Amino acid sequence: MNAVPEQLDDEIDKAADVEIAECLDPAAPKSFFLFAGAGSGKTRSLVSALGHIQATWSAQLRQRGQRVGVITYTNAACDEIKRRVLFDPLFDVRTIHSFAWSLIEGLNNDIRTWLTAHLAAEIEELHRLEAKGRPSKASDERKAKLVSYGKRFDAMPGIRRFIYSPTGSNRTRDSLNHAEVIKITSHFLSEKPRMRSIFVGRYPILLVDESQDTTSSLIDALFRVEEQHMGEFSLGLIGDMMQRIYADGKEDLGRDLPAFWRTPHKVMNHRSPSRIVSLLNTVRTATDKQEQRARTDAPAGVVRLFILPADYPDALAAEHQVASTMADLTGDMDWQVPSEVKTLTLEHRMAARRLGCLNAFGALYELDSQSLLQRTQPIATFFTDQVLPIVEAKQAGDRFGLMRILKAHSPLLSSEALKASPGREHLAAVQAAVDGVYSLWTGDTDPSLLEVLRRVSSSKLLEIPDRLAAWSEEGDVHDDNADEEEDEVTQKRIETIDKLLATSFSEVAPLRQYLAGRARFDTHQGVKGLEFDRVMVIMDDFEAKGFTFKYDDLFGGKTEGKTIDATRRLFYVVASRARRSLALVAYTRDPSRVRQFALGNRWFEEGEIIMLA
């Protein structure tokens, strides 16, 4: 890397912003991939680019009725960018699902054609599996799906308008789910030339933040748009492959780009102390050799690696000791205030265990981790966003709140139900249904999720998620001698749902708190793009019981492999959240090996490693 005078260090990334601005000329648009590592100010560069467009090209774009598309990772990021550009309608700033829906909304005939073919293929596959099996819970689940898919398939000709909510559960047959919206949009952009032309005519410039975690199929479709409309369209991808945390992101994004693409880099880390920047550079050396610089006015910062045996008798006590040690080392007494320390676990179950919702979270995570973390998983939201608020409103005697929840979710208060039975007797029946469900909490009882599910189902108070339909009736129909040829994936899902429904309902409240990001425990997924003064990272394969990430493999257990690469990326993301000080807590069966790895690879100095026996 070329030497840069120290006094210019903090301004070195202005060149990247200038290069991006050169790409955003509507008369001669160019596409680019901006490498922007942790703490580099991606949002600042994005807003700077939008400001350049405002100042230079806004009149021309408005005259043509065109807008600039901006895809961001979270709703909070959308709100922040809109605020910074003063809510200028020239910029269409959305999350990925919202943006995708805006492209296909109203294309009802095309959506119907795609969805009909998709449902037909799903139904055919379910019939094939059903023909191989015999009565069992797997069969019950398939039959429930066949009924649901069949009804939706039959309803296709009568649906005149499809609907979708990026933040809702999308339960009705005329609504699309989140995955369908992305698949349909990707297919239309890839296969329909007119769709591409309309898209480019509407958005001559599209900027995609956190592009490394944007669904691969959609990224491929956007590359197709760019290829077919070169000279008319500027695609700007912003991201850092070291921070890719979702498996459906495009693995090789940024590699082998067309020669005419620009590839500006940002090298500053404006967030972290110099010691943490040094650690981050060393960690990613094995991946891509990218390096960052700390600000010239950055503090030195404090980093410590605490190594503990895997069978340490009291992990929570150990972590309290770690916090106390960090307080002594840094002179920052806030390390001893739990709410002032963000504890990041590289495996969600570890946070869930500390919050008291491990059983519920673990089962839901196994079913579908991504939709769970995005708060869109129908099974999870059924309990957290529907059943729990009803119980809480009933407990608080909040009649208005209860009615509001029921109007939003209960089929008993749908417009059709009220038209069919508009009198007081119907409302009394609704109240009886609520009372019947709430009676499960008589005294100090803590019902299981299965008991709650069956009570809700029998009362018809809420619509039961399709995947729980086979469990909603009284009686155990599980066949322990199920056909050995049953689909292994289906059998695993059945076992997971059995485990979930055996969980106590008391786990739902802390589960909701965690998924909403209101707990002091979190993971890299939950804090993506955020930063904290004090960060403690817990690494424990044995507590996490995961298979995607293996910290012991990363710390010298193995030398290469996808698991190591994935774990290294996760480690990089969480370590880069810290603004002032960072404590890394590693539980291992071989403390001496972890220590030797940390020293041998120069991740840490001798005095930065603390062994706790």
Q: What is the DSSP string of 342-389?
A: EEEESSHHHHHHHHT-HHHHHHHHHH-HHHHHTT--HHHHIIIIIIHH
Q: What pLDDT, in 10s, does the model give residues 168-204?
A: 666 677 889 888 999 999 999 999 999 999 999 999 9
B/e letters for 184-215, b = 16+ CB within 10 Å, e = fewer, are bbbbbbbeeeebbeebbebbbbbbbbbbbbbb
Cβ atoms of 171 and 408 within 8 Å: the answer is: no
Task: Read off the pLDDT of each residue in 29-39 and give the average, rounded to a whole number.
Answer: 93
Report the C-alpha gap between 486 and 129 in whole angstroms. 8
Q: What pLDDT, in 10s, does the model give residues 308-319?
A: 999 898 888 999
**Is pLDDT of 95 > 90?**
yes
Q: What is the pLDDT of residue 240?
A: 87
Q: What is the pLDDT of residue 262?
A: 95
Most confident of the ranges 59-68, 255-264, 434-443:
59-68
Task: Read off the pLDDT of each residue in 28-53 and give the average, rounded to a whole number.
Answer: 93
**Is pLDDT of 477 > 70?**
no
> What DSSP character marks residue 39?
T
Task: Read off the pLDDT of each residue in 61-71 and give the average, rounded to a whole number.
Answer: 96
Task: Read off the pLDDT of each residue in 550-569 and give the average, rounded to a whole number.
Answer: 85
Report the C-alpha gap between 280 and 277 in whole angstroms. 5
Task: Read off the pLDDT of each residue in 521-547 and give the average, rounded to a whole number.
Answer: 82
Strand order in the sheet with 234-239: 91-95, 68-72, 205-208, 234-239, 32-36, 265-266
Q: What pLDDT, in 10s, does the model give residues 412-469?
A: 888 777 777 767 788 888 899 999 999 999 888 999 999 999 999 999 999 999 889 9
The torsion angle over the Cα atoms of residues 213, 272, 291 and 207, rounded to 10 degrees, is 40
Lowest-confidence region among 200-209, 470-479, 489-498: 470-479
Lowest-confidence region among 283-287, 400-404, 530-534: 283-287
* Start-to-end C-alpha separation, the chain: 42
Chain mean pLDDT for the chain = 88
pTM score of the predicted model: 0.74
Check residues 332 and 212 and name the one with the higher pLDDT: 332
372, 376, 382, 388, 527 from 514: Cα distances, Å? 11, 14, 16, 14, 12
Answer positive or negative: Cα dihedral of 171, 176, 179, 181.
negative
CA–CA–CA angle 268, 273, 278 (5° rounding): 70
Helices (H), 133-248: 137-155, 178-191, 193-202, 216-228
Structure-token pair, residue 36: 């922007």
Compute the radius of gyration of the chain from its Cα atoms. Answer: 27
Task: Read off the pLDDT of each residue in 518-547 and give the average, rounded to a whole number.
Answer: 82
Paired strand residues for 102: none
The two domains 6-104+181-269 and 293-347+523-611 share their CATH topology (first three levels equal): yes
Q: What is the pLDDT of residue 169?
A: 60
Cβ atoms of 137 and 478 within 8 Å: the answer is: yes
Single-letter amino acid code for the residue at 119 = L
The torsion angle over the Cα atoms of residues 305, 311, 315 and 320, rounded to 10 degrees, is -50
Q: What is the pLDDT of residue 486?
A: 47
For 261, residues 6+ apart whose C-beta sits below 8 A from its C-beta are 30, 31, 32, 33
What DSSP element (H or E) covers 205? Answer: strand 205-208
Three-class DSSP labels, 576-593: CCEEEEEEEEEEECCHHH
Cβ atoms of 575 and 544 within 8 Å: the answer is: no
Report the C-alpha gap between 131 and 538 in whole angstroms. 47
Q: What is the pLDDT of residue 2?
A: 46
Q: What pLDDT, in 10s, does the model give residues 300-310?
A: 999 999 999 99
Please state which CATH number belongs to domain 6-104+181-269. 3.40.50.300
Residue written as tokens 């990224």?
A: 219
Strand order in the sheet with 578-588: 521-522, 342-345, 532-539, 578-588, 302-309, 609-611
Count of positions (residues) in the chain: 613
Q: What is the pLDDT of residue 213?
A: 80
Domain definitions of the chain by residue range: 6-104+181-269, 108-161, 293-347+523-611, 358-512
**Is pLDDT of 595 > 90?**
yes
What architecture is domain 293-347+523-611? 3-Layer(aba) Sandwich (3.40)
**Is pLDDT of 4 > 50?**
no
Task: Read off the pLDDT of each residue in 513-532 and give the average, rounded to a whole number.
Answer: 81
